[in-house]
Homo-oligomer: A and B are copies of this chain.
Amino acid sequence: MTRRPKPPSTAGRPKDPAKYAAILNAAKQLFIEKGYGASSMAAIAAAAGVSKLTLYSHFADKDALFTTAVKCKCEEQLPPVFFQFSEDTPIRQALLTIGLGFYNLVNSEEALALHRLIIAQASQNPRVSQLFYDAGPRRVLDAMEQLLQAAHGSRQLDVPQPRAAAEHFLSMIKGGHNLRLLAGIGEPPDVQIARQHVEDVVDLFMRAFSAR
């Protein structure tokens, strides 16, 4: 009867990290593909090749799983660093590169699906929205602002309000195309059209902000 009252932990079989990963992956895919409501816990468990109870041993409830999945998805969706340029890169070249990168990012099936998910859950889950915004749009906006600030400092452009200008630029790059794709209308982005669009926007932007 000499039994320790509470071996605080570290006894017995440990949780399998592979199963955790499998669950998370399945959740990411299903939530993105079919939305929150249409993705049942049973379906997620099945897709992960795991029993429902195991799922519940890793995540308290559907909401916790959803939050974690979205967070994870956000983190893995901002790899591109279009914002690294050497000192002497002409600003026009930088804008073209950023513009094209941002256009492709924001109109990718991945990003569109994530946007739809977030917007659909906006009212029930505002914390997730904040998470998403801070991880995605906000960072891009910050980087863009910095770039314009630098261009202003080096007299390449005349941008007294870099924050506002950054928003204008990114809004134009996103363009009407993005809304149509979000709503599920219209063609997927075509390479030619994309390049044309970006060049058009950059020209417009340079005309408006070129240093006198």
Contacts and interface: CB of A to CB of B under 8 A. Distances in A.
Interface residues of A, number: 41
Contact of A176 (B137, B180, B208): B137
A46 interface: no
B119 A183 contact: yes
A164 interface: yes
A124 B176 CA distance: 22
Interface stretch (A3-11, A79-87, A167-175): A167-175
Given A119-B119, A201-B168, A129 B185 contact: yes
Contacts of A174: 171
Contact of A183 (B122, B172, B201): B122
Interface in A107-151: 115-116, 118-120, 122-123, 126, 129-130, 132-133, 137, 141
A14 interface: no
A37 interface: yes
A200 interface: yes
Contact of A175 (B122, B167, B200): B167
Interface of A: 35, 37, 115-116, 118-120, 122-123, 126, 129-130, 132-133, 137, 141, 161, 164-165, 167-168, 170-172, 174-176, 179-180, 182-185, 197, 200-201, 204-205, 207-209
Given A115-B119, A167-B175, 5 more contacts: A122-B184, A133-B180, A168-B201, A171-B171, A208-B208
